[in-house]
Every structure is written in structure tokens, then in C-alpha cells.
Chain A
Amino acid sequence: MGLSTLTTERQTDSVHLVHLRLRDFRNYTRLEVEFRPGFHLLLGGNAQGKTNLLEAIYLIATLRSFRGVGGAQMVRQDASGYFVGATIVGTSTSEVKLYWSVKERRLSRNGTPVKRLSDYWGTLRAVVFCTEDLALIKGTARIRRRFLDLLLAQTSPGYLDTLLRYTQALRSRNALLKQHRLDEDQLAGFTQELVGAGQELMRERRALAPRIAPMVQSAFHRIAEQRDALQWEYAPQVDGDFNVALAASRARERTLRTTVVGPHRDDIQLLINGRSAAHYSSEGQKRTLALALKMAQAEHLTEVHGAPPLLLIDDVMGELDANRRAGFLPLLDRARGAGGQVFMTCTEENWPRDLASDLSRWKVQDGQLRRAVADA
């Protein structure tokens, strides 16, 4: 695919994080740091705060943790709330401030409180590569749906709003189904909203498949040892008209008192040589496939926005054999070539020296970040 041409010929203003401020975030009491565009290597022993730092950056981009935890876990022990502040420079500059405590949540951009999530979305785009990625293959459908939703929210204007509408309609409808006496007229009112938003979600998810599938396939081939055939298939739970499916599920949803059909039950089928990757592939293949999904996400974002996303890479290099590493490195090089930013953690100084000549090296120790002196 034309990614390399894309990144070399279309030099666009890439977006980067130039300033990060943390207060009482995980094991960081206070942190104040400036980052250049380009490649950043975060070195340090175990449990020093490397992953925590990536988590904070990802939080700015997506407002959630890639570890799948809520706000409370990210507040430093004995503190009452965390603060993450960031300056992001792209075509314009954004000053983001995020505060979270049990009592209060605040998010502002350039001094203005963010009222609608979709207004904030796109301020910073990031793709994370982490050990949790394996759950994309081994885990439940929910994890693959989240991947799909994030990717669409990052690339399709309006998707996030539709998703929020769908979620709200679903919650309302489920609350009605749990009521003592079912009000059919109210149910019909919320069903209409559910169907409207749900059909739009399914349409977007279906339309993504032919665009993303070849990218996953080619990423997989770049890093896999064998040229196994890989398929990505959108697997909607409702095949056909949502209204009809809902009507057919009438008896079941009344017994279970919850909405049993709809895009909230969708999945992605990942097949290697025609067989379910979750059930028939080796551990190595699963790892490769998980990595390929994330690489495809990064490439798709680059193609749609004309600028690479921030790449946050946690520990994965260590797990990769030479083959996969060789397939992975061009992605990093291209991101750098296009003026993007890459943050990568490593436990020791065994970082892939084949990677980069000019990189910023940081020493992470006990919730502190120090510039490491560059060795020749």
C-alpha cells in the first residue's frame, strides 16, 4: 500500500506533545517536562513509572486508560485527585487541562471547559502498543468493539456522537425493560432512537472493513514468518433490518429484561487461513496479529488525516523476534520521517540500536524523568 509514498510526499504539519505536566498521577507526585518531535526512548527498571507516563499521554488523547481502569486507580495513593496538563502543537496550539477526583471532573482546552466530547476529540491522536493488545485476539468481543469504536471515532466525524446516542438510547431502553409495568409507548419511543443510531453504527462499521482489512493483512505479512492468509470480517450481530431483529427478539428481551440484539453485541472475526485466530492460532501468531491490528490503526489514521498519530510503545520490542522487529521498524521510521512523535519504553539498554540515530533518551526512576546523556 502507498503509505511510504504518502508520508514522504505529503509532509504535513504533524501533531505533537510539547509539554506535559502531571500532579498526583500514579507514582508521579509532580512532573514537568518538554518533548521535542521525534523519537523518545524511556529507559528504567521495573515499577519506575514508564508505563504510567504512556498512560498519561494516552489519557490526553482518548480520555481513558489503555489499561482499562477508571479514574480512581490513576490517582496517586494518598492524594485526592490527579491532574494531567498538556500542550499540543499542530496546525494550532492546544492547552489541555484534565483534573479528576471522585467529586469532580474537569476538562478544558485553551481555558474553555469542554462541553461535548466530540468537540474535544481529535485534539491529539495516539495509538498504543502494549501487552494488553493480546486481548484483541484472545479476549471478549467487547475488546474488539472498543478497538473498532476508537478507530472510527478517530477517523469518522460524527461517529462518536452516534455512539453516544446509541449508548444513551440503549441505557434508557434497558431501564424501561426493567420497570415493573412495561410502558409500550415509551419503549417504542426509545426503540426508534436506538434503531436510528444503531443502523448508522452498523453502516460505519461495515464501511470500514474493506479499508482496514488490506492494511491489517499487509502489516501481518510484513511481520509474520509465514505468509498465512489473514481475514478481517465485520461480524454484526444483526444481519439485516435492525427493526425486524428487535421485533423478533421481543419475547427474549422481556424475559431477560434487557436489549438482546444490536450493534452493542457486534464482533470482528479474525481468521488465519480461514480459521478463527482466537481458537486455532499459535501464541506467536496471536501476538503478530495483535501488533498488525495496531499498525493498521496507525496507518489508517495517517491516511485519513495526512499526519501520523503519536505512537506509544510499551515494552513490545522486547517480546519481538528479529523478524517481527524488522517488520515493525519501518512504521517507526516512517512516523519519524513524517515529523511524528514516538514514545517507547524499555527496561534496559537493550533498546534496538538499529532504530534511530537521533533520539531523545530519558531515564525514568521512581516517578521522576531525567534526560539521559546520549552515548555515542
Chain B
Amino acid sequence: MTVLPAPLVQLAAALGRLPGIGPRSAERLSLHLVQADKQFVEHLAAVLVGARTSVGPCQTCGALTEAQPCGICADPNRDGSVLCIVERPVDILGFEKSRSFKGRYHVLGGKLSPTQGVGPEDLRIAELERRISGEGVNEIILALGSDVEGDATSHYLARRLRAVGLKVTRLAQGLPVGSGLEYADELTLGRALEGRREMSPG
């Protein structure tokens, strides 16, 4: 006694796996798509596959990019002596919009979480250490979330990186807790960056 055709149900099930899409929205979207202009749907399918195929993490910094390395890593005008460490690729966007940072980035890919089984080997720390020795880096700016795990990861990195003689700073306080850098407005980010402080040995 299925009312909807099987392909429609399949489409709704697939859409329902997207973040923020509940069963009802999934059904509404799939109903819309099967009745939409055919050319539009073909275009949508093509750009979907195209984007997924051509975009991937930069092998150097971990940012999302089409080219290897990414535009920022390849730009000779960026200051290679300063690396800003962020949790996720999306965090880079905020800094770039604020135009307040001229160095390069490194995406960690998460934060330490002993309760979720995420350890240092699961983060892009080895890559970071390779870059530090290879790119003439002398300052590391830690721009991780300010929840317990983000802060503990900052302490951990500071301890590990100071050991190799780097200057380690972190953003001035005042970024929204837990919500991530992507929500911080440009002005706040600029100020947080300007007011960055050297981390004290813990």
C-alpha cells in the first residue's frame, strides 16, 4: 500500500541523510524535484557530482580546494612564517573575510577527545610538524574552539610545539563558545587576532 513510487521514496531517503533535513523536508524536496524542470535537475545532478569530484582537501594545509596546493598555500605574497591553526576548513572563511590575516593556515581536522576516542594521531599534527620544519615557520597562532576539548588541544599543541622553539600564541578571548569560528563576525576575528597572546607554559 505504498502511495509514492519507489524512486521517489529512495530520493527522499537519500536527501534525508543531509544535515538539517528531516523526513518531512526530504519528502517535500523530493516531490519538488520529480516535478521540476528536467534541465534544471540534470544541471543540479551535474554540478553535484562535479563539485564532489573536483573539490578536496589541500594536501598541504587541509583547506577545501580544486587545485593542489590551494590558492593560499600557492600565493607567494602570504607570510609563510606564521601559521594559523584551525579545527575545520570552514573556519578559514571567517579569517579570510576579515582580511586581517596575511599568513597561512593549517586545518587540524578536529580536536582531542579522549571520550570519543580521538587522539593526536587522528589529527593532522604530523603534517603540521612536517610543515614547520620545511616552511620556515616561526609563529603558530592557535584558533581552536574555546570548549574544554578545544582548549585542551591548544594546551597540548603549545606544549608540543614550544619544545621545538616556536612562538605559540592564541586568539584573544571573546570568540563565541562552542559555536565555532564560522559564526564570529569579521570585526571580532580581526580584534581577536590582533590581541593574540603568547601561551604561558601550563
Given known A-B contacts A116-B178, A192-B155, A186 and B112 have beta carbons under 8 A apart: yes
Q: Which positions 151-197 of chain B face chain A at CB distance < 8 Å?
A: 151-156, 159-160, 178
The residue from B115, B153, B178 contacting A189, defined by CB atoms under 8 A apart: B153
Is the beta-carbon distance between A190 and B114 smaller than 8 angstroms? yes
Is the beta-carbon distance between A193 and B152 smaller than 8 angstroms? yes
- Whether a CB of chain A sits under 8 angstroms from the CB of B119 is yes
Contact residues in B for A78 (Cβ distance below 8 Å): none
Which of B148, B151, B160, B178: most chain A Cβ within 10 A? B148
- Whether a CB of chain A sits under 8 angstroms from the CB of B202 is yes
- Whether a CB of chain B sits under 8 angstroms from the CB of A165 is yes
- Whether a CB of chain A sits under 8 angstroms from the CB of B56 is no
| Bound Cα distance from A185 to B160, whole angstroms | 8
- Whether a CB of chain A sits under 8 angstroms from the CB of B16 is no
- Whether a CB of chain B sits under 8 angstroms from the CB of A355 is no
Interface residues of chain A: helix, strand, loop or mixed (majority): helix
Is the beta-carbon distance between A171 and B115 smaller than 8 angstroms? yes
Encode B78-94 as 1/0 by CB contact (under 8 A) with A.
Answer: 00000000000000000
Q: Which positions 150-182 of chain A face chain B at CB distance < 8 Å?
A: 165, 168-169, 171-173, 175-176, 179
- Whether a CB of chain A sits under 8 angstroms from the CB of B127 is no
Contact residues in B for A209 (Cβ distance below 8 Å): none
Q: Kindly provide the distance from the CB of B195 to the nearest chain A CB, expressed in whole angstroms.
A: 20
- Tally of chain A residues near chain B (CB < 8 A): 20
| Bound Cα distance from A102 to B152, whole angstroms | 31
- Whether a CB of chain A sits under 8 angstroms from the CB of B113 is yes
Given known A-B contacts A116-B178, A165-B148, A193-B148, A176 and B156 have beta carbons under 8 A apart: no
The residue from B119, B120, B151, B156 contacting A188, defined by CB atoms under 8 A apart: B156
- Whether a CB of chain A sits under 8 angstroms from the CB of B198 is no
| Bound Cα distance from A197 to B114, whole angstroms | 18
- Whether a CB of chain A sits under 8 angstroms from the CB of B27 is no
Is the beta-carbon distance between B155 and A172 smaller than 8 angstroms? no
Encode A87-107 as 1/0 by CB contact (under 8 A) with B.
Answer: 000000000000000000000
Encode A188-217 as 1/0 by CB contact (under 8 A) with B.
Answer: 111111000100000000000000000000
Nearest chain-B residue to A118 (Cβ)?
A: B177
The residue from A171, A189, A192 contacting B112, defined by CB atoms under 8 A apart: A189
- Whether a CB of chain B sits under 8 angstroms from the CB of A34 is no
Is the beta-carbon distance between B153 and A172 smaller than 8 angstroms? no
| Bound Cα distance from A176 to B148, whole angstroms | 14
| Bound Cα distance from A176 to B112, whole angstroms | 11
Encode A114-130 as 1/0 by CB contact (under 8 A) with B.
Answer: 00100000000000000
Is the beta-carbon distance between A172 and B156 smaller than 8 angstroms? no
Given known A-B contacts A175-B114, A192-B155, A193-B155, A186 and B148 have beta carbons under 8 A apart: no
Q: Kindly provide the distance from the CB of B202 to the nearest chain A CB, expressed in whole angstroms.
A: 4
Q: Which positions 117-173 of chain B face chain A at CB distance < 8 Å?
A: 119-120, 147-149, 151-156, 159-160
Contact residues in B for A9 (Cβ distance below 8 Å): none
Is the beta-carbon distance between A169 and B148 smaller than 8 angstroms? yes
Is the beta-carbon distance between A185 and B159 smaller than 8 angstroms? yes
Given known A-B contacts A172-B113, A189-B159, A183 and B152 have beta carbons under 8 A apart: no
Nearest chain-A residue to B159 (Cβ)?
A: A185
| Bound Cα distance from A288 to B154, whole angstroms | 50
Nearest chain-A residue to B117 (Cβ)?
A: A175
Is the beta-carbon distance between B178 and A176 smaller than 8 angstroms? no
Contact residues in B for A179 (Cβ distance below 8 Å): 114
Nearest chain-B residue to A177 (Cβ)?
A: B114
Nearest chain-B residue to A116 (Cβ)?
A: B178
Nearest chain-A residue to B158 (Cβ)?
A: A189
Q: Kindly provide the distance from the CB of B142 to the nearest chain A CB, expressed in whole angstroms.
A: 12
Is the beta-carbon distance between A172 and B119 smaller than 8 angstroms? no
| Bound Cα distance from A168 to B111, whole angstroms | 14
Q: Kindly provide the distance from the CB of B108 to the nearest chain A CB, expressed in whole angstroms.
A: 14
Chosen A-B contacts, 8 in total, with CB atoms closer than 8 Å, are A176-B114, A186-B119, A186-B156, A188-B159, A189-B154, A189-B155, A193-B151, A193-B155
Enumerate the 7 nearest inter-chain pairs by beta-carbon distance, A residue then B residue, closest first: A189-B156, A175-B114, A189-B155, A189-B152, A192-B202, A168-B148, A190-B152
